[in-house]
Chains A and B, each alone.
Chain A
Amino acid sequence: MPILTTEDTAERLARLQQIIEDLLKEARRQGASAAEASVGGSAGLEVAVRLGEVETVEHTRDNGLGITLYFGHRRGSASTSDLSPAAVRDAVSAARAIAEHTQDDPCAHLAPPELMATEILDLDLCHPWAIEVEQAIELAVSCEDAARTYDPRIVNSEGASLSTHLGIHVAGNTHGFIGGYPTTRHSLNCAVIGQDGELMQRDYWWTTARASSDLDAARAVGERAAERTVARLGARRLGTREAPVLFRAEVATGLLRSLVSAINGASLYRRSSFLLDHLGKSIFPEFVRIHEQPHLRRGLSSAPYDGDGVATRAKDLVRDGVLQTYVLDTYSGCRLGMPTTGNAGGVRNLTIEMGELDRTALLREMGTGLLVTELMGHGVNAVTGDYSRGASGFWVENGEIQYPVEEITIAGNLKQMFAGLVAVGNDCDFPGSTRTGSWLIDRMTIAGE
């Protein structure tokens, strides 16, 4: 069962647009003063192999619609996985029933009509992959095989998996806004297990892209997974100490995510952010620029409009180390007395401007300290910025990696960590919508034995 083809998508887009129109019409009929709705469907194939044999073949097919009705400043929402005309009517009735009990909230309204996206930019996000199950299995097997044959210490595998999805999403509201477009996403992952004496280590790597031609080679993904696993073997603990910490690029994305969550409107109006009242203030050293590019062609988070139907736009979140904007949707903006920034649903394709230093130069710049390649747990307090997470990585002396380390924690406070950012590397080499090099932080507490 191959997944949807391009011809099917045009027909399906029209059908979903019809559902939006039906939803909005039904909302008006049931007395709503305004309404917004979204509907989507996706189809996909996921295969997983392990030890050279196919383990699972999954055919996915998801549908869903959601509607929010406004009666003046009261609102109610409903959603369902059923797209039949009866379900459309029932969803509107269910949302209306909810709105009978919600209370007047002056910020409960649609975004101003003049902010609606008027043109649905083609961001080159849809590249269906006409791959058959057999081919998908072959690719996953070759990925895992590259990992398993990389080093004799790779003794076991969690397998490799390939997935391909095509989704179509349409949104509309009673301002007359309606938009929709298809997107695709393909990924290949591999995780293998290495052994050294009694102890085992596991690590993984992955590639993901809008177009299959943009994926890394299957064997390269496998080799990278194996290389990372082997590097962890023989990990030791560290004694408790303070030291500089280098967050490898792929884990530094978590620090950017913490920034975004702290300048997100919902955290701010709930006063649950450590960056309350920091707009226009310096939160990073001067060299730091962080920008959002929602219109990046083939970008993994690209979108022409946000969850409120508002046109998205590129912008700097941080320039010269200074916080330039919060990340707001219509509701949270209203709560803060500010206009929306077109970020309903989050930020899209965040990039921190890379520095000059490559991996080796970053280690030399750090001198003696901890290189972190994996973080564990949820120890980030968004309200205070207090940070304490499990870590593993490598101990570095005089710019040289000495040995792998594990079962330690790193702790500090995000505000001080941001201010203590010494350098951002030029070593962004992982897939994803957040682009960053490694981050060197001047000092954190490492807890160990």
Chain B
Amino acid sequence: MNDPIAIARDSILAPAGLDESALDRLLGHLTSAAVDAADIYFQYSRLQSWVLEDGILKDGNFSIEQGAGLRAVSGEKTGFAYSDELQLPALLEAATAARAIARGGREGQVRIGQAPTKQRLYEPLNPIGSLPDADKVALLQRVDAEARRADPRVREVVASLVAVQDTVLVLADDGTLAADVRPLVRLNVSVIAEQDGRREQGSSGGGARADLGYFLVEDRALTFAREAVRLALVNLDAVAAPAGTMTVVLGSGWPGVLLHEAVGHGLEGDFNRKGSSAFAGRLGQRVAAQGVTVVDDGTLPGRRGSLNLDDEGTPTQNTVLIEDGILRGYMQDKLNARLTGTTPTGNGRRESYAHLPMPRMTNTYMLAGERDPEEIIASVDKGLYAVNFGGGQVDITSGKFVFSASEAYLIEKGRITRPVKGATLIGNGPDVLTRVSLIGNDLRLDEGVGTCGKEGQSVPVGVGQPTLRIDGLTVGGTSQ
């Protein structure tokens, strides 16, 4: 059985005794004359995690979460209630609470249609069962051994493996009946290396919407182990980072977190409807240098940030945000699209049934340019080459964003010289991409570890970019 709707019916609706007529009744109860839109989001999520530390598989956890979130929208007002009990009486009670937002009116008559999803970006599989538990343990032990083998300075290794199957079913009064079965796996390695009393950490990892075999392909898990060790060792030799505004070359891949923070959040439809984003009202204007094209693409097969359909049942798409430097589009969910007279872009996402959906990114990246990355580095007389980053943050109203480097080097006379300690980079979103002066031909996406937080809700995302030269970004080191 690999029809998502059939899987969702079997795992969510059938155990609770919810049939077609119950769903019709529920949606009808949620909808009244004064309600513009209503939807119900059913979710059944299973997660298994394992942690290996000190060479011992010391912890494991299995968790199940299920519930339904019911939403009624009237104009700009949203009523929302959720329940972790899926029996009809509990859901009807939640519907009563949610619909109270729209006063008056009679119960609506809603017939649920069915819009089968065409996209099949990942299989509706259960990654938890994709590998025997003993093999998961063995995989983490190999990761641990590989990290320790890679260098004698490695003192501590923590490796973890997480597999999730998330089944969702969306019903809406616009006729939507859609389901998605979303596998997600992730493996992380973190090491501490010590030398002459100095300690540094290195972390690496990756993931995908796939089964756990993903980590076995070409010994991918072991690559992460070696990468974590390499990062820790680089940092053992790092000197203080420079302070001040300078030319910065960002590496390809994960440094795309720049785009996520500097422009991505500012282009989410809710902030622009409310006029609270520094990008509000700037469609059609130049916000980046020529040659800069940024997209949000939820349709990349198997990627962590991809979805067959978003949490409102809208198929994801490839949305052009910035085209050759000109602001072209925002990311929309149903509510913000309706209120601004635009179309949903498949960006309506939520952390779980217990949260309201809102416009969120999927995989956000910049398209490749034509320059050889080595040529870009060679073009810089004095600057910073930042290759790996931790998290970032943005104030969408002022446009100011930061992101913290975890691997960076000085560039002196066109050559990469010494590693420097992680420093925070700060800039202004509407301005930073106008300072992009060279774009590499080496577009790469991240390894599948990104998680984005907004208004207390976390969702998995992806980022990517080619190597970029930015003329004038502030580097927050200590060395002047």
Contact = CB atoms under 8 A, between A and B. Distances in A.
Contact of B476 (A87, A104, A381, A411): A411
Contacts of B400: 376, 390, 392, 406-407
Interface in B52-70: 53, 56-67
Nearest to B73: A56
Contacts of A384: 199-200, 421
Interface stretch (B76-84, B318-326, B409-417): B76-84
Interface in B106-156: 133-134, 136-137, 155-156
B393 A97 contact: no
Interface in B442-480: 474-480
B201 A101 contact: no
Given A59-B81, A75-B59, A379 B243 contact: no
Contact of A449 (B199, B245, B480): B245
A386 B422 CA distance: 8
Given A102-B57, A202-B395, A379-B402, A59 B62 contact: no
Given A53-B77, A81-B66, A447-B476, A390 B356 contact: no
A325 interface: no
A133 B102 CA distance: 13
Interface in A379-418: 379, 381, 383-384, 386, 388-390, 392, 406-413
B423 interface: yes
Interface residues of B, number: 79
A183 interface: no
Interface in A83-128: 87, 90-91, 94-95, 97-105, 108
Given A102-B59, A390-B400, A409-B474, A379 B66 contact: no
A286 interface: no
Interface stretch (B173-181, B273-281, B299-307): B273-281
A203 to B, nearest CB: 9
B404 A388 contact: yes
Contacts of B275: 156, 193
Q: Is the interface of A mostly helix, strand, loop or mixed?
A: strand
A56 B356 contact: yes
Nearest to B101: A57
A201 interface: yes
Given A193-B397, A392-B400, A101 B476 contact: no
B241 interface: yes
B24 interface: no
Nearest to A94: B62
B79 to A, nearest CB: 5
A99 to B, nearest CB: 8
B12 to A, nearest CB: 12
Contacts of B274: 50, 156, 158
A149 interface: no
A360 interface: no
Interface string B359-387: 00000000000000000000000000000
Contacts of A337: none
B421 A386 contact: yes
B58 A108 contact: yes
Contacts of A176: none
A271 interface: yes
B403 A200 contact: no
Q: Is the interface of B mostly helix, strand, loop or mixed?
A: strand
Contacts of B136: 101
A91 B63 CA distance: 8
A201 B398 contact: yes
A75 B48 CA distance: 14
Contacts of B137: 101
B295 interface: no
A133 B77 CA distance: 14
A98 B276 contact: no
A409 B478 CA distance: 10
B79 A57 contact: yes
Nearest to B474: A447
Given A202-B398, A386-B422, A447 B78 contact: no
A15 B58 CA distance: 32
B36 interface: no
A448 B474 contact: yes
B427 interface: yes
Given A77-B59, A378-B393, A388 B80 contact: no
Contact of B243 (A62, A199, A386, A411): A411
B329 interface: no
A377 B62 contact: no
Interface string A434-448: 000000000001111
Contacts of A272: 156, 192, 199, 201
Looking at A103, A108, A407, A410, the one whose CB has the most chain B CB atoms below 10 A away is A407
A288 B403 CA distance: 32
Given A57-B79, A81-B64, A445-B243, A388 B424 contact: yes
Contact of B276 (A193, A240, A270): A193
B241 A242 contact: no
Contacts of A53: 76-77
Contacts of A445: 243, 476-480
A60 interface: yes
B428 A390 contact: no
B100 A82 contact: no
A95 B398 CA distance: 48
A81 B65 CA distance: 5
A411 B420 CA distance: 14
A392 B402 CA distance: 12
Interface in B1-45: none
Smallest CB-CB A-B distances: 4 pairs: A409-B476, A390-B402, A377-B402, A202-B397
16 contacts: A57-B77, A57-B100, A80-B65, A101-B50, A102-B60, A103-B58, A108-B58, A235-B398, A377-B392, A377-B393, A377-B402, A377-B404, A377-B426, A390-B401, A409-B475, A446-B243
Interface of A: 1, 50, 53-63, 75-82, 87, 90-91, 94-95, 97-105, 108, 133, 156, 158, 193, 199-202, 232, 235, 240, 242, 270-272, 276, 376-379, 381, 383-384, 386, 388-390, 392, 406-413, 445-449
Given A79-B64, A102-B60, 20 more contacts: A1-B96, A53-B77, A62-B84, A81-B66, A101-B57, A103-B57, A200-B276, A201-B397, A240-B480, A272-B156, A276-B199, A377-B424, A379-B390, A379-B422, A384-B199, A388-B241, A390-B401, A409-B474, A411-B241, A447-B476
